[in-house]
Amino acid sequence: MAAPNLVKALVLCFLLQRSLLFVDSAIGINWGTRSSHKLPPPVVVDLLKENRVGKVKLFEADPDILRALMGSGIEVMVGIPNELLGVLGSSPAACDQWVSRNVSRFMDKGGADIRYIAVGNEPFLTTYQGQYQSLVLPAMLNLQQSLVKANLASYIKLVVPCNADAYQSVSVPSQGAFRPELTQIITQLVSFLNTNGSPFVVNIYPFLSLYQSSDFPQDYAFFGGSSHPVVDGQNVYYNAFDGNFDTLVAALSKIGYGQMPIAIGEVGWPSDGTPSANLSAARAFVQGLVNHVLSNKGTPLRPGVPPADIYLFSLLDEDQKSILPGSFERHWGIFSFDGQAKYPLNLGLGNAALKNAKDVPYLPPRWCIANPSLDPSAVANHIKVACNVADCTTLFYGGSCNAIGEKGNISYAFNSYYQLQKQDARSCNFDGLGMVTFLDPSIGDCRFLVGISDSGSPVGCTNFCGLWIMALWILSYVRILNVL
Ligand SMILES: *[C@@H]1O[C@H](CO)[C@@H](O)[C@H](O)[C@H]1NC(C)=O
Ligand SMILES: *[C@@H]1O[C@H](CO)[C@@H](O)[C@H](O)[C@H]1NC(C)=O
Ligand SMILES: *[C@@H]1O[C@H](CO)[C@@H](O)[C@H](O)[C@H]1NC(C)=O
């Protein structure tokens, strides 16, 4: 008797766990919006659903995006920009207002499933020179009170996404420690997180390690084993991700929170703009990472324990991001700006490969190029102006359009600007040096983009055409009724 019951119980357990794993999948994605060609939020939400992505992280609390996420079943982390930390920390009323305007009103039945609020974004980053450091905790304490008042405190958790530069190690991961000037603040922060059952959220970027130091072993950045493993006592590290993760585990242990759950707020690999950012490297890294996480192997310091959640960086390319970090910065998406998969990727969520966005409201298929008869010496200033506002980062060394020649460069810059201006005819003038073409000038891997209309409906189907479709639809309906 006992044996079959046990088997049944085990099977049930297994099924339950499988379904839990499916619903509560660990892989989520960052959805940033610094793009001049924004996909309409409902198109992006469909893209997430088609790809079975169940968690999304936002950098703000954009009302249009939250509205599109309502009823989708997708779990959401909303973000509070660092610039707001000061006022939120000094005013409980401002926190109440922030929570009610940006969270509560989207959370009715059938609303958006907001689970986390990210208080600041990498507020301890070294380059901020401490300007946000002391503002984080006061803001968190006030926000927590606002959540309690709004009856949301048991459902929504506050977190603080930290850059991995908050901790360091003189040598091996087990020597990890928080930066001395942060130790006190992070100890208080972690104590708060621990009390509320929130994870520590960290952004880890092996790409930047490789990009910033020429002697960083190439294969250590990926997940295929390394000829330069890091030996740390009994533990051996074969990839930078695990090494970095365990440096954090060691740093947390040092302040007494060695068991603190860790979620990855951002991790990814860019695909363009510099030699080490290319499609095959991006695919290898992201697929390797997903497989590694889903294998549940964990890390040497946390064997068998994968990160709590992991948010890929990122969903879409964003052509308006600052390129101060490097010209790869606009190319982190696993999809291009228009929701088209850049490479095959199995996210372990049920689809063998990424599915593309549907119903993308492209502008008409036309491009602006350099007039073939132009004198290239006359255009330097035009290019500068165009590339100052539009994106030309694929032209740089290591970019996908770096080898298209001088005229190609000019055409690319003209077109980027023309699409940024929503194909306004005047924006292809360039003192008579530009011309519009209906033939796609893309060359090999170098894609000349067609922009996205921000009116939301596909161009060519304006209100008038919408009325037409409705009329036809009503007509056909009437005819069906007649037949019946
Ligand atoms: C969030 O709330 C603040 C404060 O009420 C407000 O200023 C801000 O515009 C809101 N953000 C969004 C994206 O609605
Ligand atoms: C792509 O990037 C990888 C890793 O950064 C590098 O090893 C490889 O040479 C690059 N491929 C090309 C074609 O540049
Ligand atoms: C095209 O522009 C890029 C970026 O400025 C430059 O590196 C490249 O040399 C240019 N190509 C030609 C043929 O001028």
In the chain, what are the domain boundaries?
A: 17-330, 367-483
Nearest ligand for residue 106 CA: 1
Which pTM was predicted?
A: 0.89
Contact by Cβ (8 Å): 173, 230? yes
148-172 pLDDT, tens digit per residue, is 999 999 999 999 999 999 999 999 9
Contact by Cβ (8 Å): 405, 412? no
Please indicate whether residue 282 or residue 215 has the higher confidence score (pLDDT).
282
Q: Which two tokens stand for residue 182?
A: 């942060």
Say what the pLDDT of residue 374 is: 78
In the set 75, 266, 318, 329, the catalytic residue is 266
Say what the pLDDT of residue 350 is: 92
Say what the pLDDT of residue 188 is: 98
d(CA 62, CA 384) in angstroms, rounded, equals 32
Ligand 2 centre to CA of 240 (Å) is 17
d(CA 271, CA 35) in angstroms, rounded, equals 17
Please indicate whether residue 469 or residue 133 has the higher confidence score (pLDDT).
133
Total number of residues shown for the chain: 484
- Nearest CA owner, ligand 1 atom 5: 98
Say what the pLDDT of residue 48 is: 98
Say what the pLDDT of residue 76 is: 98
Q: Beta strands 113-119 and 157-159: pairing type?
A: parallel
Mean pLDDT of the chain: 90
| 397 Cα nearest atom in ligand 3 | 7
The conformational region for residue 122 under phi > 0 = left, psi -120 to 50 = alpha, else beta, is left
Contact by Cβ (8 Å): 28, 53? yes
- Mean pLDDT throughout 12-37? 65
Instruction: Fill in the DSSP letter of residue 222.
Output: S
99-152 pLDDT, tens digit per residue, is 999 999 999 889 999 999 999 999 999 999 999 999 999 999 999 999 999 999
Query: Among residues 39, 16, 86, which one has the least CA distance to residue 316?
Result: 39
pLDDT band at residue 22 using 50, 70 and 90 as cut-offs: very low
pLDDT band at residue 484 using 50, 70 and 90 as cut-offs: very low
- Nearest CA owner, ligand 1 atom 2: 98
- Looking at the chain, the whole-number percentage of residues with pLDDT higher than 70 is 89
pLDDT band at residue 35 using 50, 70 and 90 as cut-offs: very high
47-83 pLDDT, tens digit per residue, is 999 999 999 999 999 999 999 999 999 999 999 999 9
Say what the pLDDT of residue 375 is: 81
**Site to substitute for ligand 2 among 205, 278, 343, most atoms within 8 A of C-beta:** 278
Contact by Cβ (8 Å): 428, 363? no
397 lines ligand 3 (CB under 6 A): yes
d(CA 22, CA 47) in angstroms, rounded, equals 18
Say what the pLDDT of residue 214 is: 86
In the set 60, 75, 83, 122, the catalytic residue is 122
Please, what is the Cα angle at 330 between 324 and 334, to 5 degrees? 145
213-224 pLDDT, tens digit per residue, is 989 999 999 999
CATH 3.20.20.80 matches 17-330: yes
The DSSP-derived string for 71-121 is TS--EEEEEE-GGGHHHHHH-HHHHHHHHHHHTGGG-STTS-EEEEEEESS
336-365 pLDDT, tens digit per residue, is 999 999 999 999 999 999 999 999 999 999
Say what the pLDDT of residue 6 is: 44
Ligand 1 centre to CA of 391 (Å) is 29
3 state DSSP class of 232: strand
Q: What is the CA radius of gyration of the chain?
A: 25
pLDDT band at residue 454 using 50, 70 and 90 as cut-offs: confident
With 60 as the cut, is the pLDDT of residue 480 above it? no
Measured in whole angstroms, how far is the alpha carbon of residue 155 from the centre of its chain? Answer: 23
Q: Beta strands 177-178 and 167-168: pairing type?
A: antiparallel
Lowest mean pLDDT among 171-175, 442-446, 475-479: 475-479
> Counting Cβ atoms within 10 Å, is residue 362 exposed (0-12), middle (13-18) or buried (19+)?
middle
d(CA 154, CA 196) in angstroms, rounded, equals 9
d(CA 144, CA 452) in angstroms, rounded, equals 39
> Counting Cβ atoms within 10 Å, is residue 460 exposed (0-12), middle (13-18) or buried (19+)?
exposed
| 276 Cα nearest atom in ligand 2 | 5
The ligand 2 site (C-beta within 6 Å) comprises: 218, 275-276, 278, 280-281
Say what the pLDDT of residue 283 is: 98
- Looking at the chain, the whole-number percentage of residues with pLDDT higher than 90 is 85
97 lines ligand 1 (CB under 6 A): yes
Say what the pLDDT of residue 11 is: 43
With 70 as the cut, is the pLDDT of residue 197 above it? yes
Query: Among residues 368, 458, 358, which one has the least CA distance to residue 420?
Result: 368
398-429 pLDDT, tens digit per residue, is 999 999 999 999 999 999 999 999 999 999 99
d(CA 280, CA 272) in angstroms, rounded, equals 10
Say what the pLDDT of residue 354 is: 98
Nearest ligand for residue 63 CA: 1
Q: Which two tokens stand for residue 33?
A: 């919006």
- Nearest CA owner, ligand 2 atom 5: 276
Tell me, yes or no, if 75 is annotated catalytic. no
Place of tokens 């929503």: 422
- Mean pLDDT throughout 265-269? 98
Say what the pLDDT of residue 373 is: 86
Contact by Cβ (8 Å): 411, 441? yes
Say what the pLDDT of residue 4 is: 44
